[in-house]
Amino acid sequence: MTRIHIPGILAMATIVVASNILVQFLFGNWLTWGAFTYPLAFLVTDLMNRIYGAPAARKVVFVGFIVGVICSVIGTQVMIQGDGFEYPAVTLRIALGSGLAFLTAQMLDVAIFDRLRNGAWWRAPLASTLIGSTVDTALFFTIAFSAGLTAIEPANDVSWANEALPLLGAGPIAPLWVSLAIADWAVKLSLALLALVPFRMIVTQILARKGNA
């Protein structure tokens, strides 16, 4: 690890830990607050990939993953008081789901980006983020909230996430977490498009500085 990796690692770890906490709080009926922070991880990965190459991006992903998981595990031991109950800041299922989904999706992002890096400037970050976000959403919400995986953490009550409701309030009946996953995925796709603007600006500025160094 070199000094050029440190900002990316710190940014990645911060995003993972913050998202693990915020995903437990609803924003409206179908979104969690984590939906607005977690997609930034793909921006960090793609910036490192474009500027420093795939090996550097993988290193940032892996080290950021380790730091994020450690902080998340610590969060499982931090208890929060609310509504007369005491609960952990980060549940074990959320920590596991986040870690597995993060590592799988981010490594997939790096591979796809690297394969498309010589095409149009927007193609690699857009395609890699869209595919990575889809995989990330499916893995995380299934592991963290599906009633079929309660054996992972029997003491964690996820009944709220499995309440049978119309999909997104209008579709067929499905567990609440499925609506949360679809809404989260839609936000990720939207932010993937918006992130092209800062991606282009940051890459242009940093590469210009490197060229003048």
By C-alpha distance, which of 173, 88, 100, 106 is closest to 143? 100
Give the HSE-up count for residue 125: Cα atoms under 13 Å, Cβ half-sphere.
28
pLDDT value for 10: 83
Counting as low any pLDDT under 70, the low residues of the chain are 1-4, 24, 79-89, 211-213
Q: Which domains does the chain have, with CATH numbers?
A: 3-212 (1.10.1760)
The predicted model scores a pTM of 0.85
**What is the tens place of the pLDDT at every residue in 153-202?**
888 888 888 999 999 888 899 999 999 899 989 998 999 899 999 999 99
Q: ∠ CA 36-41-43 to the nearest 5 degrees? A: 95
How do 85-88 and 164-166 pair as beta strands?
A: unpaired
Give the separation between CA 105 and CA 95, rounded to whole angstroms: 15
Query: What is the rounded end-to-end Cα distance, in angstroms, of the chain?
Result: 21
pLDDT value for 9: 81
Q: Where are the alpha helices (DSSP H) in the chain?
A: 6-22, 40-52, 54-76, 92-116, 123-145, 176-194, 196-212
pLDDT value for 117: 93
pLDDT value for 73: 75
**What is the tens place of the pLDDT at every residue in 124-134?**
999 999 999 99
Both structure tokens of 69: 């998981």
Question: What single string gives the DSSP state of each residue in 134-147?
Answer: HHHHHHHHHHHH-G
Give the separation between CA 143 and CA 69, rounded to whole angstroms: 15
